[in-house]
Structure formats: C-alpha cells, structure tokens
Amino acid sequence: MHRREFIKITAMAGSISVLPSFLTASVEMKNTLALYDIQWKFDLTAHDAKECALWIPLPSDISGFQSVLQIGTEGTAKQSFQTTHNNYECATFYAYWDKNTTNKTVDLSMKVALRDRQCDFKRTRVCPDSIEEAKEFLAPTAHIPTDGAVAKIAKKILSNEKDPLKKARKIYDWIIANGYRDESVHGCGVGSPNAMLAQLEKDGRMGGKCLDMSALTVALMRASGIPAREVLGIRVGPSRLSPAFGAKEDITKSQHCKLEFFIPTLGWVPCDPADITKLVLKENLEKTSPRVLELADKFFGFWENNWMAFNHARDFDLYPANTQGSLDSFGYAYAEIDGEYLDPFEPAHYRYSILSKKVTL
C-alpha cells in the first residue's frame, strides 16, 4: 500500500441531492447539510522490530443522516483493506505491518456529508422487516445486562407505564436527573451499566462519560422491552447549540457515543442524554434551568450534523481476528503490538491525529 488508494468515490454534489429519504418517514429532513473533510494520521514507528496490527472504525452511510462520499488511504502497511466482515457489519479499515517494516504509518482521508437528524414523532408506517430486525437489540450482551440491578431500576423508573415512547422518555429523563459528567474518566468511559448503578447505590448519583450514560440508557430500555443501541462516533465540527457539543479542527480526542431506540410506529429514534450532562458541567447550569430543560427536550429525538457515526457494535469480534479477543466497543482505533493491546491514551507509543475541516458547499 505505497500509493494513495481511493476506496470509494462518488459524485459528491450529485449524491447529496439524491439522498434517499430516511427509512422511516418520521425523521424530518431539514436543510442542514454540512460537508466535512477528515484526515487521520497513524504512526506506529515507535514499535520497531515488532508486528503491528491496526483496526480503524470507519463511518458508513446512514440513510438521510450521513453519507460517506470518499475514503482514501496511503501508507506503508504490508497488508491493508476495508471490511464489514463482523457480526455488526461495522465498517473497518485494517492495516498490518510485519516486524521488518521500520516506518509504520497509515493516513486516511475522507469526505462525509451530514444532516441534522430530527424525529418529528408523527406516527408513520415502519416496515415489518425493520420491526423484526430491531428485536435483535433487545438481547443482553456481555456489557449490556438486562437482568439484576438493571431490571430492578427499570421497573422502579417506569412504574406502570405501558406506552413505549413514554417509557423511553422516562428512562432518558432519569439518566439526566441521576447522572453527572465525570471528567476524570478516560475517553468515553467503559460503558458498564452495573458499575454505574453500583455507584448510584453507594453515592446517590452516578458519574461517567458518554459511553457510560448511553450504555446504561440502552440497558434500561432493553430491560423495558424497547430495542436500543449505542452509536459510537466522533464530533467533527462546531455545534450551533453549545460549545459543549462541538469540536474544533483537531478532533483526535472528540470521540462521542450517542444512542438510538426503536418504536414500532416511529422507527429508530435518536437521542443523547450524555450530552445534556456535559452541558450542565460545561456551562455550569442547574439541571432545572430553562436552557437545560429546552435542550434535554430537543435531544430526545435529535442528532446534530456535527457528529459522525461509526457503528453500534458492542461485545463483538474484529475481522481479521485480534489476539486479545472480543472488543467491548469500537469507537477508537484499536491496535495490537506483538499481540498486546496498545493503550490509545498513551501518545508516546501510539501517535495519531484526526483533523476535520468543514468544507464550503
């Protein structure tokens, strides 16, 4: 892979104008198109005389919200390819360097178009296949339990509520009311609902970051019979709503997890309780302030067009298989050096950067 390779090129302007309407008509399409040019650079040269393998999460098309217009790669890997061969079909770029390669680098460049995703909550027709497929996201995984403490709390939150949308809102509001953003947490957090609930029982509130909040929301929703899934991604530009929700050009540390839940009369509905807890912290607001209440209401059914989704994989196996086993989530690039996990938060050994530029249309 010595020369620049373009994996996918489509006619940019053309594809925007013919974006298919969203799978479920409940999502209102607004004229909020944004185009981003994103450059990734990875350098594993520090690991001289060692085998290095790298799996990078890639964005995929999400009809009506996200369109990947181009992905190009350049580097020194002995082997590299793009794949969706894994049980969540998440788009992955894989690169492998043998121990004899001294200069171990790979660059990715991509152009992605994003639109605001806004659910208007009008009843719509959802195809039976989608309803059937969504049921897959009721099942527990290794890190998303639906029994024990999760089931107990879900029952307590919902009382006798029967309407699925009202159930989802009650859980969403409960997360915001009881959660707080803990800046000492590494990255997006570990996404362990039981750890969050243990903290709540001990301290009367629970701290974490986006993966922690989203995972608990997903677990509570699944335990209540609502299909739900975390969506790992990255902020790619400034927010129109608050600096708390945005990113500058260097987005290396801007990974962010949101979630979506499924209502048979609406389809998949986006939401983001974690960002409301971030808003409270960053703008030093009371949870009962009009601004928090207004944005909490907005974020139940909304994703802004400054965030790019990667995948909704939890507890899954990479392809090609890694040495360490199942990943609990795939929002960060994952690397192994001679089969050992490389700490993504250790910049001296794992040099990478992600830059994003908003392109004028």
Partner 1 sequence: MGRITLGILLLASLAYSREWNLHIGGMHCIACTLAVKKALLSVHGVQIAKVNFKNESALVITDENISLKMMQDAVAQTGYTATLATKN
Look at residue 44 and give its three-state secondary structure. Answer: coil
Pick the piece of the chain touching partner 1 (CB under 8 A) from 53-61, 162-170, 269-277, 321-329: 321-329
Instruction: Say whether residue 249 binds partner 1 (CB under 8 A).
Output: no
Instruction: Say whether residue 325 binds partner 1 (CB under 8 A).
Output: yes
58 closest CA partner among 129, 14, 110: 110
Min dist. Cβ of residue 246 to partner 1 (A)? 27
CA distances, 306 to each of 19, 26, 110, 115, 246 (Å):
18, 21, 15, 8, 7
Q: Quick one: 98 or 338, whose CB is closer to partner 1?
A: 338
Cβ atoms of 135 and 324 closer than 8 Å: no
Q: What's at 132, amino acid-wise?
A: E
Q: Quick one: 6 or 341, whose CB is closer to partner 1?
A: 341
Distance CA(310)–CA(55), nearest Å, equals 13
Min dist. Cβ of residue 191 to partner 1 (A)? 9
H or E, element range at 345: none
Min dist. Cβ of residue 318 to partner 1 (A)? 11
Considering only 240, 343, 357, 361, the residue that binds partner 1 (CB under 8 A) is 343
Considering only 283, 326, 353, 358, the residue that binds partner 1 (CB under 8 A) is 326
DSSP 234: E
Characterize the bridge pairing of strands 314-316 and 255-263.
unpaired
Cβ atoms of 191 and 219 closer than 8 Å: no
Q: What's at 197, amino acid-wise?
A: L
Q: Quick one: 109 or 326, whose CB is closer to partner 1?
A: 326
Q: Quick one: 38 or 213, whose CB is closer to partner 1?
A: 213
Considering only 323, 347, 349, 359, the residue that binds partner 1 (CB under 8 A) is 323
Q: C-alpha 281: how far from its chain's center?
A: 21
Q: Quick one: 143 or 167, whose CB is closer to partner 1?
A: 143
Considering only 4, 341, 357, 361, the residue that binds partner 1 (CB under 8 A) is 341
Instruction: Say whether residue 340 binds partner 1 (CB under 8 A).
Output: yes
H or E, element range at 118: strand 117-119
Binding site for partner 1 (CB under 8 A): 142-143, 190, 192, 323-328, 338-341, 343
